[in-house]
Structure 1
Amino acid sequence: MSLSPRVIAFLLAGLISALTAVFLTFVEGVTRSMLFVVAISSLIVSFFLILYTIEILVYREVNKMYKTIHKLRIKDFTISRSTLIKNNNPFKKLNDEIFVYVARKQKEIEELRRLEQFRREFLADVSHELKTPVFAAQGFIHTLIDGAVDDEKVRDKFLAKAAKSLDGLDALVKDLVALSQLETGEVKMHFEPVDLYQITLEVFEQLENTALARQTSLKIKTDQPGAVLVKADPQRITQVLTNLIENAIKYGNDGGKVLVSFETEKKHYNVLVRDNGPGIPPEHLNRIFERFYRVDKSRSKERGGTGLGLAIVKHILNAHKSKITVMSKPDKGTTFSFKLDKAE
């Protein structure tokens, strides 16, 4: 049987009225009419006071707690900051504390779920990326074992293909290790004055054959002559420029252009790597820095690469307290840019 606040208030008020009347019977000179008036007055006053106390201070707050629990069930975590600061009512404080605690725990649970989903996707991606070169090399080697080894031309051809697959596997593992170390902070940056202009020339020389194969021209543009000195880790910033320029060559057009620009600002150099290739569709721009993400998977496989280059670039620049940005328009090319502090 459930009791409403009015019934509880009436019962308690009746008890108080009865006790008051009994107490007054021991007082000399109190008549029955006086006892009746006091009892009724006590009953009415007590009833309204108790009802107010139960209704306002208890039931309303318990009802709010019930509504809070309902909001938590539907994952509605909106709560006024002023409510948390100004409330003096202990029931309200308890209600808000429960709300805030559960909201925090719910966010932690959602973050753990997100990380678990990320872990599963990452393992699936790694398994797929590792499987491709391993199965390719395994197929070539088994073909040789089955008798093709006796044919010198076939043997050399298959060994070269197996070696290429294993080289791709080696590059993938190295990139995975590098990315993991960057994410966990194991790789420490060694900052020193670095000439970006000279590093870019070295990267151009390193990628010369790749550019010639696609008839791509490589150029540098600066708004002032001389060295472009920044404060950076020379090995890591070389890796950043190599990844960006190599991508511009691989995914640009045949006979295209790659332009590396250095723009001088008050305390920074703005570095831009542009190509005049097919561009990146807008729906892919927010995801190209994710691990193993490829805009055109079939085309990316043909061009080679591990699918980790831009993710590595992002983490290296984060360690330099910088941020990589991308702008692209279909059929007009893509521009990657970032800023580095000038060397003092």
Structure 2
Amino acid sequence: MAIKFKKSYKFAIKSSFYIALFSFGFLAIANYYFAKLPFYYLLLFVIALSIFSFFVLQYRVEYFIYKRVKKIYDDVSLLENANFRNQPITTDMATLTSEVQKFARDKKLEIESLKIREEYRREFLGNVSHELKTPLFTVQGYLLTLLDGAMDDKHIRKKYLQRAEKGVERLIYIVNDLDMITKLEMDTLGLEISEFNIVDVIQNVLDLLEMRASKKNILLTFDMKYVRPIKVVADLEKIQQVITNLVENSIKYGKENGTTEVSIEDFVNNKVIVKVSDNGEGVEKQHIPRLFERFYRVDKSGARSEGGSGLGLAIVKHIIERHNEKINVESKFGKGSEFSFTLEKAK
């Protein structure tokens, strides 16, 4: 295996060899004409000069490069890159070049990530303001109408106050969902893990949403009759909310006289998978990766008329991920969608 020398060593060895060669030639000529000293004196002198030259050159080159490389490290570390702050300073140019290139790549990725997050932040703020503005202006409009004189008419007063109340309820609904998703993202919403029958939870959700589904003649059903209980370990309240949000979503985007079907299947190891599928309008392929974003709506005009906070699927995703489980969506435009998530089975 070949021995690898630092490039500064090679430079110092070559330089000291040239100095020694020149000195030997010069002294040999001088000795021939003047001193007539023994040959081995000259040889010892040249060897000593070579060694001395090597150490002087090596030190000077290392120090010269170190001062300039240290300035590069100092300039780069102003950007507070932890890698440069914690690493020892190297004077090897190949290593330094590799480190600087890696630093540049990391910074480029970081800048691109910040741009994406900034765009997401602007879009999120625009969506929040839009979602809150609509019910606020609705409430304000009814109240101003009442203050302008409509309050004297009992029929109109009652009707407008009821409509204003619905606007306030929508505001509370949006704010509550915002509060929940904020806690989920900041990891401050605790989970109350318990063992329960997932079949009963799903049946309760289907019973609760039956009247809403009947307005569009949508049939809510299991894929089969589950005689035995299927016990899972999770936060009952949060999982019920997940199923509620998914079934509500299928009703919202479902077709008239359609169906929403829930199934429970064994998954790998000690897992079950819960599927909520419908034969509704489905989602185009380009929208699927963004379905779980806050306030993202595929049909921005029609979806708002259906109500909701626009946070339902985002909350679903966060709750499932807090359980260290997976959620998936498959959809074909015009044919329907299927949302599925895993849960741990009780032992």
Question: TM-score band (shorter)?
Answer: 0.7 to 0.9
Over residues 6-51 of structure 1, what are the superposed CA-to-partner deviations in whole Å (9 max), with x where a residue is unaligned? xxxxx999987765554345414579xxxxxxxxxxxxxxxxxxxx
TM-score normalized by the length of structure 1: 0.76
**Which of 288, 292, 301 is the aligned partner of 1:289?**
292
The aligned amino acid for 1:213 is: K
Name 1:61's counterpart in structure 2.
none
Give, in whole Å, the separation in 2 of the partners of 1:338 and 1:94: 48
**Which of 197, 200, 204 is the aligned partner of 1:198?**
200
SS of the residue corresponding to residue 93 of structure 2 reads helix
Give, in whole Å, the separation in 2 of the partners of 1:17 and 1:331: 87
Aligned counterparts, 1:1-344, within 5 A: 22-29=26-33, 90-222=92-224, 225-265=227-267, 266-344=269-347
The aligned amino acid for 1:120 is: R
User: Please, what is the CA RMSD of the aligned residues?
Assistant: 3.8
Cα deviation for residue 126 of structure 1 reads 1.1
Over residues 214-261 of structure 1, what are the superposed CA-to-partner deviations in whole Å (9 max), with x where a residue is unaligned? 222111134853112111100100000000011111211122211111
Give, in whole Å, the separation in 1 of the partners of 2:161 and 2:154: 10
Give, in whole Å, the separation in 1 of the partners of 2:130 and 2:152: 33
The aligned amino acid for 1:288 is: L
Gaps of 5+ in 2: 1-14, 36-60, 63-68, 70-89
Give, in whole Å, the separation in 1 of the partners of 2:23 and 2:333: 89
Cα deviation for residue 116 of structure 1 reads 2.6
SS of the residue corresponding to residue 214 of structure 1 reads coil
Cα deviation for residue 121 of structure 1 reads 2.0
Cα deviation for residue 320 of structure 1 reads 1.4
Q: Which moved more, 1:22-31 or 1:147-156?
A: 22-31
Name 1:75's counterpart in structure 2.
none
The aligned amino acid for 2:330 is: M
The aligned amino acid for 1:304 is: G
Cα deviation for residue 263 of structure 1 reads 1.1
Give, in whole Å, the separation in 2 of the partners of 1:136 and 1:307: 18
Over residues 259-315 of structure 1, what are the superposed CA-to-partner deviations in whole Å (9 max), with x where a residue is unaligned? 111112352211111111121122211111111111111111111001100000001
Q: Is the 8 A contact 2:199 2:226 kept in 1?
A: no
How many residue pairs match? The answer is 298
Over residues 43-69 of structure 1, what are the superposed CA-to-partner deviations in whole Å (9 max), with x where a residue is unaligned? xxxxxxxxxxxxxx99xxxxxx9xxxx
Give, in whole Å, the separation in 1 of the partners of 2:152 and 2:213: 37
Over residues 71-123 of structure 1, what are the superposed CA-to-partner deviations in whole Å (9 max), with x where a residue is unaligned? xxxxxxxxxxxxxxxxx992211111222223223333333333233222222
The aligned amino acid for 1:150 is: D
TM-score normalized by the length of structure 2: 0.75
Q: Which moved more, 1:183-192 or 1:168-177?
A: 183-192
Gaps of 5+ in 1: 1-10, 32-56, 59-64, 66-87
Give, in whole Å, the separation in 1 of the partners of 2:31 and 2:99: 50
Name 2:81's counterpart in structure 1.
none
What is the aligned-residue identity percentage?
39
Q: Is the 8 A contact 1:291 1:307 kept in 2?
A: yes
Cα deviation for residue 331 of structure 1 reads 2.6
Spell out structure 1 runs of 4+ moving beyond 3 A: 11-26, 28-31
Give, in whole Å, the separation in 2 of the partners of 1:336 and 1:275: 9
